[in-house]
Amino acid sequence: MKSYLPTSHVPLVKLISQISSYFLLIPIYYPWSKEGRPLSCRRSRKHHITFLASLIIDAVHVALLFTWFIYIHANREEIPLWGIISVAYFMATIAIIGSLKWLIYQRIVEIITLLNQAFQLETFSRAQFKLEVRFRVIAVVVILIASTAILPSVMAMLPWWYEYMPPFVSMRKMVWNEAWLDEWSASGWILNFTVKLGVTVLEGLTWMGIVNLGAFGGFTLFIHAPVVVEMWIQVMERRLSQSSIIFNPVEYRIAQTMQNINTISAKKPLTSLTIGGTMMAKITITYILISSFKMLPKLVAVFFLVLVFDFFVCLHILAYSISRPYVASLHYLANVKQRLTKLDKWVVRFLKSCIPLKFPLGDGNFFGKTTGLVITDVCVAQVVTLLLM
């Protein structure tokens, strides 16, 4: 029976990279040609200017939302709780994404190196043994492609009908003091349409940049690279069971090198911002849905439900993928030590340097087998705390 599933992760990574870099809103560009290799925006003036403009747009977006909070505080306006939390959530999300864009821009060389090394190691691994494509990778690719098409469109259209879908609320409350809402006059209708059109463009560009960065950065650093390391350890396991050679030191050093490149590319604060930002989004939207579900417009409620599911799935897959090299290397080293009966002194010394492959979370912590459950527990606890306040 013919299978329509890909035989390698490489085409999936290239597809995500090409889609994410199409609008030049992230600091990496991936050409559509078959021989294309990932390039830095620093090699293209057009890409460089477009990317820096996206950072300015993010800053303007955050400034608009911040001034809205100043306005409602100064005028003592009564705003529903879900509206205030929604605006705060959008402002924090855009600020975090803008920071992540700048961090990835600063580490562009390391990330391009990681991409190229991951492609080479996966190709080499598949040349040794037949390895399955991970289902979680396919699931994430489907979610990311759907999000790229849906999320910017929804966020661009919601301000046309619903208040508290920023930054439309800032313009409405402050700039014209609602006088422009009189659409019966020609000037009022033109002004109203112009503002909404401007908001649509601003929202579309902002959220397209958010999705592009999440798709590329999240998939490259936290999904594909750990999967490639896990696959290489799987190759080592098979060689261990099929070969008379008990242990090949070079093979484990390859895994350590790949893990080190990944760790350097995603070192603090990039990982902390990514995990913390995703947790913040999940907690905030879950709280809004539970506390204000009856007050939410139906379309907004459905949109938030989809976001909660999206964040839940991606957060668990992300934590699981990052932890797999540690779990696999721990199992591999245990098998090696069990097979070695008469240990050579050099081998003993080398094995002591072969520590499990840890991906740091910060403050001495790392992603282990139960990290996903711990993150979920923290999110649930925070939601309950907010509901009891």
| Mean of per-residue pLDDT scores for the chain | 80
Q: What is the pLDDT of residues 58-115, one digit of tens each?
A: 888 888 888 878 877 777 777 777 777 888 888 888 898 899 999 999 998 899 899 8
Q: Tell the residue number behind the tokens 């960065």, with chain if given.
A: 213
Within the chain, residue ranges assigned H as helices are 10-20, 45-75, 81-106, 108-128, 135-157, 168-170, 186-213, 219, 225-242, 249-265, 270-292, 298-339, 345-353, 371-388
- Position 34 scores a pLDDT of 60
Q: What is the pLDDT of residues 289-312, one digit of tens each?
A: 888 888 877 877 888 888 888 888
Q: What percentage of the chain reaches a pLDDT higher than 90?
A: 5
- Position 1 scores a pLDDT of 44
Q: Assess whether pLDDT exceeds 60 at residue 29.
A: yes
Q: DSSP code of 159? A: G
Task: Average the pLDDT over 148-164 and give the result.
Answer: 76
Domain boundaries, the chain: 10-388
- Position 282 scores a pLDDT of 86
The angle, 0 to 180 degrees and rounded to 10, between the axes of the packed helices 108-128 and 249-265 is: 150
For residue 34, which amino acid is it? K
The angle, 0 to 180 degrees and rounded to 10, between the axes of the packed helices 298-339 and 270-292 is: 140
